[in-house]
Amino acid sequence: MVALEEEARRVTLATLAEIAQTSADTIRGGQRLREDLGMDSLQSLELLSTIGEALKIDLDIEEAMGIQTVDDACAFVTRKYKEQKADGSAVRG
């Protein structure tokens, strides 16, 4: 389980760093996607769709719209990754 959490967090931060054009080392959990990283709502969804693709998981758009911080994104992705790994569900088409 710890390995899953680490992988989900690593992929989330790496993708975030790429989209926000910054280094993963400089990203902190409390940073807000919009105010601190300059990402608008579409870019936040683009981030999550890229993460979902990388981890082969489905992410709900309603929950995704509520994400505000880096920690929110990591927690959301980690929870979905663990749930879907556990029940073996696949990515939507």
Partner 1 sequence: MAAPCAVDLQPVGGELVDLLLPNVRRFLATEVDGSAIDEASHIPLSVRKGFAELGLFGMTVPEEFGGAGFSLWDACRVIAEIARVDRSVGIMLGLHAGLGSRGLVEWGSPEFQAVWLPRIAVGECITAFGATEAGAGSDLMAIRTTGRLVDANSLRIDGEKSYVTNGGFANLFTLLVRTPGIGGDRGHTLVAIPADTPGISIGKEEHKLGIRGSSTVTVAFEDVVVPMSNVLGRPGEGMELAYRLLAWGRTLMSAGCAGAAQGALDATVQYVGERKQFGQAIGNFTATRAHVAWMAARTYAMRALIHETADIQAHGNSIEIASAVAKVFCSEGAFEAFDRAIQLHGAVGFLESTGVARGLRDCRITRIFEGANDVLLLRIGAATLGVRRVLDVSCVPALREASTRVVAFDELLHREMGDLRKRLGVMAVRRQLVLQRVARAEICVRAAAAALSQASDTEMDIGLARHVATTLIEEGTQWLAELGRAERDEATATELSSMIYGA
Residues of this chain that bind partner 1 (CB under 8 A): 20-23, 26, 31, 34-43, 45-46, 48-49, 52-53, 58-62, 64-65, 92-93
Closest approach of Cβ 2 to partner 1, in Å?
Answer: 25
CA distances to 26, 35, 58, 81, 88 from 31, in Å: 10, 8, 24, 22, 32
Query: Please, which residue, 13 or 59, has the CB nearer to partner 1?
Result: 59
Length, in residues, of the chain: 93
Query: Please, which residue, 1 or 29, has the CB nearer to partner 1?
Result: 29
Query: Please, which residue, 3 or 61, has the CB nearer to partner 1?
Result: 61
Sign of CA dihedral 37, 64, 53, 30: positive
Residue 9's contacts (CB-CB under 8 Å, 6 or more residues apart) are 74, 77, 78
Closest approach of Cβ 48 to partner 1, in Å?
Answer: 4
